[in-house]
Structure 1
Amino acid sequence: MRNWWKSMEKSFNMAFVSNYINHHQIPFCNAMNRLLQGNFLFIQTEPMEEQRIQMGWHEEERPEYVRCYYEETEFCRKQILDCDVVLFGGTDDESYITERLESGRPVVRVSERLYKTGQWKAVSPRGLRKKYHDHTRYRKGPVYLLCAGAYVPSDFHIVRAYPGKMYCWGYFPETKRYDIEQLLSGKGYDENGTAHLLWAARMIDWKHPELAIETARFLREKGLAFRLDMIGDGALKEQMEALAQRYGLGDQVAFLGYQPPEAVRRHMEKADIFLFTSDRQEGWGAVANEAMNSGCALVADHMIGAVPYLIQDGENGMIYRDGKAEALFGCVEKLVRNRELCRSLGRKAYRTIAEVWNAENAAERLMALIGSVVAPGLGTVGATGEDGAGGVKRNIADFHGSAPCAPCDPARVISERYRKRI
Structure 2
Amino acid sequence: MVVTFVSNYINHHQIPFCKEMAEYGPDVEFHFIQTMPMEQKRIDMGWAVDPGSYSFVSVYYEDKKTCEDLILNSDVTIFGWSEGLVKELEEKRLSSGKLSFRVSERIYREGQWKMISPKGLINKYKEHIRYRKKPVYLLCAGAYVASDFKLIGSYPGKMLKWGYFPVGASEVKTERKVGYPIKICWAGRLIDLKHPEFAVNLAEKLKGLGYDFRMDIIGDGELKKDLERSITEKGIEDKVTLTGGKKPEEVLDYMKAADIFIFTSNYLEGWGAVVNEAMSCGCAVVASNEAGAVPFLIEDGVNGYTYSNGDYFDFSNKVLLLFEDRDKILEFGEKAAETIGKLWNPKHAAAELIRFCRGYKDGKEPAFSAKGPMSAARIIKPAGFLRTMQEKNRLE
Q: Does TM, scored on the shorter chain, surpass 0.5?
A: yes
For the pair 1:376 / 2:365, whether they are aligned, the reply is no
Which residues of 2 match residues 5-404 of structure 1 at below 5 A? 12-37=1-26, 39-60=29-50, 61-93=52-84, 94-175=87-168, 177=170, 180=173, 182=175, 184-185=176-177, 188-190=178-180, 194-372=181-359, 374-377=360-363, 383=364, 393=367, 396-397=369-370
Give percent identity, aligned residues only.
45
Separation of aligned partners in 2, 1:215 and 1:350:
25
Deviation of 1:62 (Å): 2.8
Separation of aligned partners in 2, 1:181 and 1:340:
15
Separation of aligned partners in 2, 1:347 and 1:181:
6
Partner residue in 1 for 2:394: none
Separation of aligned partners in 1, 2:174 and 2:249:
21
Separation of aligned partners in 1, 2:172 and 2:108:
40
SS in 2 for 1:41: strand
CA deviation digits over 1:344-399, x for unaligned, max 9? 00000000001110000000011122233x4433xxxxx5xxxxx6xx94x832xx
CA deviation digits over 1:30-75, x for unaligned, max 9? 1111125361110111111111111011014531010011111111
Question: When the two structures are superposed, what TM-score results if normalisation uses the length of structure 2?
Answer: 0.92
Indicate if the aligned counterparts of 1:175 and 1:290 stay in contact, CA closer than 8 A: no
For the pair 1:409 / 2:375, whether they are aligned, the reply is yes
Evaluate the alpha carbon distance shift between residue 31 and residue 180 of structure 1 in structure 2; reply closer, same or farther with a 3 A threshold: closer
How well do the aligned residues superpose, as a CA RMSD in angstroms?
A: 1.7
CA deviation digits over 1:83-134, x for unaligned, max 9? 1110111124122312212322221111111012221211221111111101
CA deviation digits over 1:114-162, x for unaligned, max 9? 0122212112211111111010011111111110000000010111100
Separation of aligned partners in 2, 1:23 and 1:14:
20
Separation of aligned partners in 1, 2:149 and 2:249:
35
Q: Which letter maps to 1:81?
A: L
Indicate if the aligned counterparts of 1:268 and 1:291 stay in contact, CA closer than 8 A: yes
Mark the runs of 5 or more structure 2 residues left unpaired by the alignment. Answer: 385-396
Tell me whether 231-240 or 362-371 shows the greater mean CA deviation.
362-371
Separation of aligned partners in 1, 2:135 and 2:362:
11
Deviation of 1:218 (Å): 1.4
SS in 1 for 2:183: strand
CA deviation digits over 1:16-40, x for unaligned, max 9? 0111110110111111111253611
Q: Which letter maps to 2:377?
A: A
Partner residue in 1 for 2:388: none
Q: Which letter maps to 2:14?
A: Q
Question: When the two structures are superposed, what TM-score results if normalisation uses the length of structure 1?
Answer: 0.87
Separation of aligned partners in 2, 1:98 and 1:296:
43
Deviation of 1:177 (Å): 3.4
For these two proteins, the number of residue pairs brought into alignment is: 380
Indicate if the aligned counterparts of 2:169 and 2:346 stay in contact, CA closer than 8 A: no
SS in 2 for 1:249: coil
Evaluate the alpha carbon distance shift between residue 179 and residue 283 of structure 1 in structure 2; reply closer, same or farther with a 3 A threshold: closer
Indicate if the aligned counterparts of 1:13 and 1:36 stay in contact, CA closer than 8 A: no
Separation of aligned partners in 1, 2:377 and 2:171:
30
Partner residue in 2 for 1:6: none
Mark the runs of 5 or more structure 1 residues left unpaired by the alignment. Answer: 1-11, 378-382, 384-388, 398-404
Separation of aligned partners in 2, 1:347 and 1:166:
30
Tell me whether 163-172 or 217-226 shows the greater mean CA deviation.
217-226
Separation of aligned partners in 2, 1:240 and 1:275:
16
Indicate if the aligned counterparts of 2:60 and 2:67 stay in contact, CA closer than 8 A: yes
Deviation of 1:273 (Å): 0.5
Evaluate the alpha carbon distance shift between residue 154 and residue 57 of structure 1 in structure 2; reply closer, same or farther with a 3 A threshold: same
Partner residue in 2 for 1:7: none
Q: Which letter maps to 1:122?
A: M
CA deviation digits over 1:154-211, x for unaligned, max 9? 01011110010000000000226368553x12xx522xxx211100101011011101
Q: Which letter maps to 1:409?
A: S
Tell me whether 296-305 or 34-43 shows the greater mean CA deviation.
34-43
CA deviation digits over 1:219-240, x for unaligned, max 9? 1222222111111001100111
Deviation of 1:414 (Å): 0.8
Evaluate the alpha carbon distance shift between residue 179 and residue 80 of structure 1 in structure 2; reply closer, same or farther with a 3 A threshold: closer
Q: Which letter maps to 1:410?
A: A
